[in-house]
Every structure is written in C-alpha cells, then in structure tokens.
Structure 1
Amino acid sequence: MISLDEFYEDFMQSVLSESDSRGLMKSQAFFENVCEELVSIGELTPNYTFAEYQKTCMEVEGYDYDEERNILSILTHKFFQEDEMQTLTKSIIDTKFKRLEGFYEKCLDELYINLEETSEAYSMAYNIYRYSIENKIDKIRFIILSDGALTNRFKSIQSKEINGIKIEYRIVDIDYIYKIQMSQYSGGGFKVNVNSPCLEIPTKSDEYEAYLTVMCGDDLVNIYGEYGQRLLEQNVRTFLQFKGSVNKGIKNTIQYKSDMFFAYNNGITATATSIERDENGNIILINDFQIVNGGQTTSAIYAAKKTSKLDVSNVSVPMKLSVVKDKEKQNEFVSKVSEYANTQNKVNKSDFFSNSPFHKQMKEYSQRVWAPVCDGSQKRTRWFYERVRGEYLNEQAYLTKAKKDKYQMEYPKKQLIDKTFLAKSENAWLQKPHIVCKGAQYSFANFANDITSKLDKDNLCITESYFKDAISRIIMFRTVEKIISSSVWYDGGYRSQTVAYTIAYLSYSIEKAGKFLNFNEIWENQTLPQELIDILSYIAREVYIQINKPQSGHANVSQWAKKEQCWEEMKKLNLSISLPKKLLLNKQDEKYNKKEDRRIKKIDDNIQVQSTVIQMNMSIWIELNSYYMEHVKEYKLSMAQRDILKKMSMGVITLPSEKQSKILYDLYIRAKEDGVDIND
C-alpha cells in the first residue's frame, strides 16, 4: 500500500492536472475532486453544487442537500496547495466553522435577496432559505475540506441542537481522503451496533459464515439515518420511492399490519467481514456492514417513519447475513451475492454495470492503443482507463522511483480517463445535456443503461474506433470548459451547464445536417482544430446567454438546466454553423467505417478467445467436463459441445480451432456465471 506522503503528491498532481486540462481554478478542481470522493462513499449526494461566496464573517464553497434524509451540508475548504503537506490547525478550523455558521444564519435572514439572481450563490442561498421555512432540514452538517493533515491536538467538536435541528461539524482532511481511496482495495467500511438474536447456519464453504437474524425497524432507521447510501453503496439499486407495487405494499404493511411485517416481507440480505456476539449468542456488532438486497425495504422503512410519521417499533425485519472470511475478497463476494439475490423487483442488467464487458474492453484498449505523437514530442503515451477511483495510483504503489517515472511518462496524469467524466462527455454528445446537469453519478447511471442496451443488441459495438472517439469527446469536453473559463463574456457561474449544452447543440446541428463529426481529426492531433474551437466558442456564448434566461416559473437556473424542456428550448436557437469538410463525414463513410471496425474487432476477439483457451490449464477442462456431465439434464448441451469438451479434457484436442475455442470458452463462462468454483 502506498504511503500518505506518496498519496498526497499524487493527489495534488491530480488537482493541478484537472485545473490545467479543464480550465478550472485550482480551488474548484480541489473541491470537485474531494466531493466526488465523498459521493463515491455516500457522504454526499450526486447533486452537490460548487458555489463560492465570501464576505465579512461568511465563507462557503458549496452545498449539498439529501432529499431523502433531509440533511443539509454546507461546505468550505482550506486549500494550502503546497509542495509539502501542511497542518490544519485548530485556529483555522474554528475560523472556518464560524464563517460557515455566519453564512447559514444570513441565509435564514433572506441573504438571497441581495445577490445576483443568475449567480450560483443566489441559488444556494435561496434553496437553504426555502428548505428552512418549509421545515425540510432535520440535520445540518458544516464540512471543512482540506489538503492539509488535521493537527493531533484537535480532538473533536461536539454536535449540538438548535430549534430541533441537529448540527454536526465534519473535517475531511488529506488523511481522510487517503483512507477513502485505499478502502477501494482493502474493503474498508464501518461498524454498526445492534442487539439481534441470531441462528448460525452450518455451511461447508470456507469462504463465509452464515447467520439468520432479525432487525428491529427502529434500529434499521437509526442505522440508515446515520450512514445513508454508504449502507447500500455496493447494492445494485437505490430506493424507488413508494411508486412500485412492492414499495406500496411495504408502506401498507407498516401502517396497518406492522406486527405482520416479518411474515409478509422477504427481508434483507447483508454481508460483513466480521461480527461480535454476546454471552447469549446475540449479534452486538457488525463490521463492514453492507445491505446487498433489501435496500428498498430499508429505505421504505426509513421513509415510513421520517416522512409518513409511522410507528416502526413493531416492525421486525428478517435478515440473512453472510460474513466473508477473506476480507480481500469482500468486493467480489458482495457483487455475486447482489446479482443472485436481487429478485424482488425487476433489475436491469445495467444495475450490474460494474461487471460489464464494457470496462474490460475499455481497459484492454487503454493498455494497447498508443496515442499519436504530437507537438514535436518523441515520447509515446497511452490513455489510462480507471474503472475504480484510485486505480491509477494503486498500480504504481510498489514501483521503484525509476519505474514510476517511466509509468507516468507512458500514462501521463492528464490522460487519465475517469469513468464518470467519460459518461458526462458521452451523454453531452448524445444530446442529453439535462442528464449531465443532474450530476456525475446520475449521468453515469444513464450512460450505463445506454451502453448495456447497445451491448445486448451488438456485442461488437465497443471497437477500437469507439475508444478513440470517446477519448476525442473527452478532449472536446475539457476544451470547452477552458474556452468558457477564458472568455471575456463569461461572468462566472453555470459553466458546467453551459459546457454540456454547448456540446449537445453542436452534436444536434451536425446530426440535423445529416452528417457525422470526424473525430479522427481530434484523435490524430490530440487537440481540437482551430475551426472547431471557433465554432464551439460561438455556440458557448449563445448557450450561456440562453441558459441564464430560464422560463417563467423556473427562476433557479441549476434546476432549469436539469429539465428536458430546457434542452428543447435550447434547440430553437437556430445558430448558423459551418464546419470545414475535413471535419465531417457523410452517412456512407460512417456506415463503412463502422462495418470495418466490427470486422476487425470480430477477428481480434476470436484471436483473444483462442489464445485464452489454449493457455488454460488442462485441470479446468477436466473439472468442466465432470460438472456438465453431472448436470447433463439441466444444461442440455448439444452433441458437438459435449464431444469438444470431452476431447479437450482428455487432451485429444491440443490446438483448438477458432470455432472450437469459442464453444469451449462459452462453456467456461457459463459455468463461472452459474457460480461454479473452478480452480483456475
């Protein structure tokens, strides 16, 4: 594992790289970077907003509102941006918290009235005032973000309560950020205190221990109120409100037959890395608690008490708890349990996107495809596809200084592909700017649906050309960010919305003309042609003017930009756009290119499958042959499948053909997906 000092150095490089490549202020790049980390563990919602505001005795960088739990988070930062890690002192902390409190108090005194209506600070101050007068705040969290390390002398600030609202003080320093990223690999989590009777279930598996237990409705409400989405972070779906028949049934049971909840509800499926039991055998502590099935049940019970004011003290929730013996395998174990346990409501394949072949194919291209050499440089580089946050840094953890320098030369920090950023750039080009404006995680979920549908229809759709075009769209997205930030007409605020709508409008205009953008021009130069920059600058200016004129009844620009109606209005701009021929392709060219891409990919895939099968150990084929023979009625294999598998297990086939390799590989994958423990 890398040290904190190594992490700090890389983290600062990430911030500087983000700032440079996207045209952000360093402080904003820092703010967004840290907030995305907090979103990834459920500490913030995807709807957090950067909205800088500083006046005498007031200082704030942004806010977040959790609608389900009525939690308002107001954030500021202490960004040292030094070469060496600094100390976050008690005096700095005290000053920052006082300024956050001062801002909140002014918001309650209608601060928004004195602010410019088109500014993000106005929306922030107005929303905080509105949440307050509508009694939609149950808890307020004042949060300080910092690249410094919290002083050892600082202990804590006690929570307090004002007018029935709980006030919490949080500090997210560099050590906290470090632990978040390291937990992606160590399976780190949190502990929950319970008092639940349990029955241990005998199991022959050396992977986990099994328990049947029950949780009280009030306990579940308290745990969810404390941890929120962190409790469900590895679950395949989130709460669907009381709209589906299942969720309505949960509410009705709580309201009218709470004592029958145990009998009527399927309960929850959960995992942990360890538990503690008292002398009576009751579970009193659960480590790394994760609800992998029953997230809707949990959220529904919470909403029933907090929103509908129903009594849940008589609600008993059955729980199946699996305790993973090998902590390093927790993520893989949870993923499999999630996939097989979630049957209560219909689950889309995109809900399991983390296991999608899309990631594997994007990773393979990022490891194989070299970016063109540009600007006179003699050093060839690649783009790094990061499926899990922190993966780029983790791969360098045990490299020597010389090898790390070589690695970073091959994979420069500025060429890191974050999957949520990729989703934003793709959705913008797919003419979904309103989706992009709903936040990185929401945009990513939408993108997952699109890609999953495409892969279902065509498993050859993620080609090398797609990879290059996707990189080109990332380059475009970052360029538009910089264009807007440096433009004389830009007065500040709503830059992210302007970027999304600018790219969507360009895509719309080209599609309307029956053409396709030649992304190869961007890929080959790793930058946008000046003609395209000029056109995007023109579109961005008009979009910025338009987006700051929301329709009547939509005074909040941020909320207006999230609506499809905003996009429909934007398409009426009727801007005059003319791109040079070298940047455009006609339908025939595009169709030919895609056909050729699919042909090449099919050849590559067949070669890869054949190579994989040839390199697999003979014992695997012996195990598979034995397994399929034992389940012959269940699988109903064809004569050809059985014959090829049998001959492969006997060593008769030493060099399988492409067709034979495809049959063998499909049988191997089918068994793995069915949970067969193959010793490979």
Structure 2
Amino acid sequence: MHDGSVQEFAITLEQAIEDRLGQEPGWLKRDAFVQVAGDYLVDDGSLEDLHVCYFVSPSGRSRMEVAGYSVSDDGRVLDLVTADYGNHGQTISRDQVRRRYNWATLFATACRDGHHLDMEESSAQFDMVQDIHSRWPEIGKIRIFLLTDGRSTLQDPPPDELGGIPVIHNLWDIERLRRLATSGRHEEPISVDFEKLGNPLPCLPAPAAGDYQCLLTVIPGKLLADIYEAHGPKLLQRNVRAFLQARGKVNKGINETIQTSPDRFLAYNNGISATATGVTLEQRGSETYLLELSDLQIVNGGQTTASLHHAAKRDKADLSKVQVPAKITVVQPDVLDQLVPKISRYANSQNTINEADFEANSPFHVELERLSRSIWAPAAAGSTRQSRWYYERVRGQYNVDRARRHTSAKQKAFDLEYLRSQRFTKTDAAKYDMTFRQLPHFVSLGAQKCFQSWTLNVLSASSAAPDEIYFQALVAKRILFEHGRAEIRKLNPGAGYLANVTTYTLARLAAEIDVDDVLATVWREQGLPDHIRHAVHELSGPVRRVLLAAPGSGNVTEWCKKEDCWKSVLDIQWAGLLPKVPGQARQAVRT
C-alpha cells in the first residue's frame, strides 16, 4: 500500500464530493461520498444501481442505519449500502465495521416487518422502506456494502443469513476504492476455477492466432447459472449490450425449452460468447480440459445466462440436462480493450442492435468527446471570457487531463478553459436528452437505467454521428435542466423529490414550446431565458402535487417511474401563458 497514492486519491475524492454537493444542495458530505463511491462500484458492475437515501432510527438498544439501497431488476437481490465517512484515511476498528453491518441488518429486518407503517408518508425514506417491504417475498439474497474513507484490515466477514436469506458482506475502504478508481478497468477480475467447482470442461482449442486463442466447449446449465449467481451483472459489465440483454424480460423460448425439452437446449440455443485474459488447460489422454479462466466476461448470451439463472433460482427448474455451447476467446491483456468491443459487436450482429455498442469507447461517445474539446461556448451575460463544456467520456477523465498539465500555470489555464462546473458525464447526457424527449418516467428509473434505455432506444436507433449542432443542443439541455433545478430548489428549499420534479417539469415544458428555438437561445445566452424561468416557477408546483398524489400504495418513487404518472402530468390544467418567442405563437398549455 502506498501512502502517497492513497493521500492523492483522498484529495481527488474530496474534490469529487465537493462537486457533488454543489449539484445536490441539502445533502451532507456523507451522502455525496456515498454517491461518488457508489458510482465507482456501479461502473465496475459490483453494484447494479444505487439510490442514495440516508435513514437512521433507534432499534432497541442499538439502531438501524443505511445510506442507500437498490433492488436488482429480477427482484432477487437487495443491496444495502452503509457508510463510515470522515476518517480521512485513518484506520477504522473492526468493531466499527461490525456495527455498521449490524445496523444495516437491523434495517433490513425492520423493512421485512413493516416498519413503513410507523413512518410518515411522502418521504424518500418511507418509499425506500415500503419498496423493500413490498419486494421481500421475492428477495433471495441480501448484499451489504460498507463504504468508508478509512482503512480497514478486516476481510469481508463470512456470509450470514436473515430469516433463511443469505446475507453477503462487502467492505470497500479507501485503498480498495483507490485501486478501483485508478485502475481504469475492473478492480477484481472474475476468475472461475472449474476444477474446484467439480466441472473441468472438455474443450476443443483452436491453434493460437497471434494475440488471441479460441476455445470451444459446452458448459452445464447449472454451472453457468451458479457463476451468474456468484458474480451477477458484473459478469457482463464489459459490454453494455450484453448487460442490456440480461436486464430485459426473461426469454420465453429459452424458458420453455428449459421446462419441456432441457436435453435439446444444446440444439436449440446459440450459446454464449465469452472473453478471458488467461486460461489453464490440461491434457488428459486424448482430450483437452479447461480448468480455469481469468478475467471472464460474457459478451454475447447475456439473456441466455440470465434466463438460466432465473429458471434455477425463481422457478426451481432442474438444469441437470441443460448444456450450453460456448466460444471462449482468450485475449492478451494489452489488447483487451481494443479487441473485446469488436468481438462483442460481431457476435451480436444477428441482433437488431448491429452498430456500435455505445460503451465508453464507441464512436458516438468518442465523437462527443472530440466536439467538447473543440467547440467554444459563447461568453455568458456579463462576461467576455469564453470557455468549453467538458464531456467526461470515462469517469475520472477530467482530473487525469488536468493532472497532465504539470505546472500550476498550465493547470490554471485548463481550469479557465474547462470550468469544473461545466463538466458532464454519459449518464448526465442521457438524463438531459431523455427529459427533453419527454420521457421523465425513464429518467426517474435512476442514472444507470436511464442511460441503458437511452443507449438501447435512442442511440442505437440512429446511425447519425453527433455534430456541432447536436453538441450545442445537448449543452443547452444541460443548462435548462440544471438552472431549472436550481429555481425549483429555491421555491421549495429542503423539499424531497427534487430530481423527479425537475425532470417532469422540464419535460412538460418541452411539450409546449418550440424546443429547437429555445435550445438555440439558451446556447447563445448560456443561461435560462426569463420566460422559461417564469414557466418553471408556475409549472413546478402543480407537477409536484401530481407526483406526491401517488395512487394505490402511495410510493412516490415508484409512481414517478410509470408512464401513467407522465400522462397525469400532461393532464395538469395550467392557466399560465408563455410569452411569445421567435417562431412560436402564444399558446396555453394543454388542459
């Protein structure tokens, strides 16, 4: 462990926390730390998603406490995040760690037992507890993540259980977070030892070809389901498209084959394509056996894998007769990031998504980055200094670019050219674009799910590369969103559901204005026009009331994710009129 590198990372981490606090007024530093650290884990695939939501309450002589949560798309895995922040790299005791795990377990127990019935409704905390309670019958595994800016010598405790549900513990201290944040790749590659699992696989190796080698094998269905159970979506994380496949609905055809003709699965299914960076083979007589794979990733066949897992865990299906064909490409580590996207693209060529996979290295995002480095924005009102908007294609890219300027003068020039406040990420871009496409219910799904929907339903549907007009419009959407958010926050200081109210208010506004004309104006002015500010003020109140009037269970967070919520917002009777703007007649909002 290098103290200097940890100290440098701690400084970077604190800067990211300060940046996040600027975006989320009302948050404490602890909340911003959870979001920043959680983003690293979501990018890595260790977490599927994260909703930051701090909750603490007495529980007998102890207390229950969490800092956020997430439930997997199939409803089987409950992730609880707890935090120990403020240690600044100092060692935290084993007792501290154990207490945090215990508080999170007590929280899970309270959710199971209906603690929401004793809580005040219409708060994010109520929504979280009620959501977990309603999903409890489907939950098959609980994972507790402890995030800390301290150091710990405690290894992850052994699995526990809560009412028969396995409880897995994951400790992410500052050193482990540093390795993940600075590696540029998965911090802990997935290795599978087939020998230890009792299933060394007979395989047919093709002759090595330069920087890769191909293996053909057949994997028992139960083994593949067990590997997915152990590693989850991280097994698919290197490729966005494979990740999307697994998150969709379980394939009915695959499920039917499992139930009625499991012995024909090998004949009916195309199988999986996977990559690895290392392989252990052994010759046994005339046959070659696959004993171990290092850094395993599935780049095609995500839906097959997830469907087998679903059948085994949810439907208790017998997979003993299921066999899955597999092609495994063993790639040299130094060309991994170059070859894997191409392997994935060609392996998926039979799908409707047949162009770039829109991961960070896709042509779309690379071109968006290039535009952001070449286009100067107009000077804002009251200033003569121009600057650029920095598109952070890869997390941490801004700080890396800044650090490359080795003198303080060059770093100062970088800060003036690329203002820290004018930086935005892939998930930010998705949020802004989906809002103005009038899809606020998708934005309300959360950053990662919104980004995946944007990738699947918007980017993959168009072969057009982003150009200067696209980039300027995207930046204008960001200005409208963030300035509108600030106005709504001032109107309702401390009120909850700010993100939801913002996306719904601006989506509703987009339904009533000449969006292209307004975006052009916003780009020129680099600010919020007065008539838009006035409209945001008038609309946000009625929008908030619709969101808080969640039908049925009264869970506002879940209500905001539904298209019916958007339809209800469109039905708001708003008496206000927008002043005339160029190219648009004065009109009333739809009633």
TM-score after normalising by structure 1:
0.77
**2:497 maps to what in 1?**
494
Task: Give SS of 1:215's match.
Answer: strand
1:301 aligns with 2:308: yes
Deviation larger for 170-179 or 424-433: 170-179
Candidates 20, 39, 46, aligned match of 1:18: 20
Distance 1:140 1:379 in 2: 52
**1:36 maps to what in 2?**
39
| 1:449–1:316 Cα change, 3 Å | closer
Q: How far 1:470 sits from its partner (Å)?
A: 1.4
Candidates 192, 205, 221, aligned match of 1:200: 205
Distance 1:497 1:524 in 2: 27
**1:277 maps to what in 2?**
281
| 1:10–1:55 Cα change, 3 Å | same
Which residue identity lines up with residue 527 of structure 2 in the other structure? T
1:600-637 Cα offsets, whole Å, 9 max, x none, are xxxxxxxxxxxxxxxxxxxxxxxxxxxxxxxxxxxxxx
Which residue identity lines up with residue 527 of structure 1 in the other structure? G
**2:482 maps to what in 1?**
478
**1:260 maps to what in 2?**
264
Task: Give SS of 1:282's match.
Answer: strand
Contact 1:18 1:24 in 2 (8 A): no
**2:564 maps to what in 1?**
565
Contact 2:341 2:357 in 1 (8 A): no
Distance 1:243 1:158 in 2: 33
| 1:541–1:413 Cα change, 3 Å | same
**2:160 maps to what in 1?**
160
| 1:539–1:87 Cα change, 3 Å | farther
Which residue identity lines up with residue 566 of structure 1 in the other structure? C
Candidates 430, 434, 445, aligned match of 1:438: 445
**2:589 maps to what in 1?**
none
**1:586 maps to what in 2?**
583
Contact 2:111 2:130 in 1 (8 A): yes
Quote the RMSD (CA, aligned, Å): 2.9
Q: How far 1:295 sits from its partner (Å)?
A: 1.3
1:232-251 Cα offsets, whole Å, 9 max, x none, are 1133233468968xx33322
Candidates 394, 398, 410, aligned match of 2:417: 410
| 1:62–1:409 Cα change, 3 Å | same
**1:182 maps to what in 2?**
182
Task: Give SS of 1:55's match.
Answer: strand
Unaligned residue ranges in structure 1 (runs of 5+):
589-680
The count of corresponding residues between Structure 1 and Structure 2 is 567
Q: How far 1:70 sits from its partner (Å)?
A: 0.7
Candidates 399, 413, 427, aligned match of 1:393: 399
**2:532 maps to what in 1?**
532
| 1:164–1:450 Cα change, 3 Å | closer
**1:425 maps to what in 2?**
432
1:150 aligns with 2:151: yes
Contact 1:200 1:210 in 2 (8 A): yes
Task: Give SS of 2:511's match.
Answer: helix
Candidates 218, 233, 246, aligned match of 1:214: 218
Deviation larger for 187-196 or 554-563: 187-196
Distance 1:232 1:355 in 2: 16
Deviation larger for 525-534 or 365-374: 525-534
1:122 aligns with 2:126: yes
**1:228 maps to what in 2?**
232
Which residue identity lines up with residue 512 of structure 2 in the other structure? S
1:74 aligns with 2:77: no
Distance 2:334 2:324 in 1: 29
| 1:520–1:9 Cα change, 3 Å | farther
| 1:413–1:176 Cα change, 3 Å | farther
Q: How far 1:353 sits from its partner (Å)?
A: 5.9
Deviation larger for 524-533 or 35-44: 524-533
| 1:451–1:310 Cα change, 3 Å | closer
Distance 1:453 1:250 in 2: 25
Task: Give SS of 2:168's match.
Answer: strand
Distance 1:587 1:358 in 2: 32
Which residue identity lines up with residue 566 of structure 2 in the other structure? W
Q: How far 1:279 sits from its partner (Å)?
A: 6.1
Which residue identity lines up with residue 314 of structure 2 in the other structure? T
Q: How far 1:4 sits from its partner (Å)?
A: 3.7
1:566-612 Cα offsets, whole Å, 9 max, x none, are 1111112122344455xx33169xxxxxxxxxxxxxxxxxxxxxxxx
Which residue identity lines up with residue 327 of structure 2 in the other structure? K
Contact 1:436 1:443 in 2 (8 A): yes
Unaligned residue ranges in structure 2 (runs of 5+):
195-199, 586-591
1:51-108 Cα offsets, whole Å, 9 max, x none, are 222222121222111142611112222232x8x5444433332332222122222223
Deviation larger for 430-439 or 397-406: 397-406
Task: Give SS of 2:571's match.
Answer: helix
Q: How far 1:228 sits from its partner (Å)?
A: 1.1
1:341 aligns with 2:347: yes
Q: How far 1:164 sits from its partner (Å)?
A: 2.0
Which residue identity lines up with residue 58 of structure 1 in the other structure? M
Task: Give SS of 1:43's match.
Answer: coil
Task: Give SS of 1:431's match.
Answer: coil
Distance 2:77 2:71 in 1: 6
Contact 1:13 1:413 in 2 (8 A): no
**1:576 maps to what in 2?**
575
Contact 2:75 2:135 in 1 (8 A): no
| 1:176–1:409 Cα change, 3 Å | farther
Task: Give SS of 1:298's match.
Answer: helix
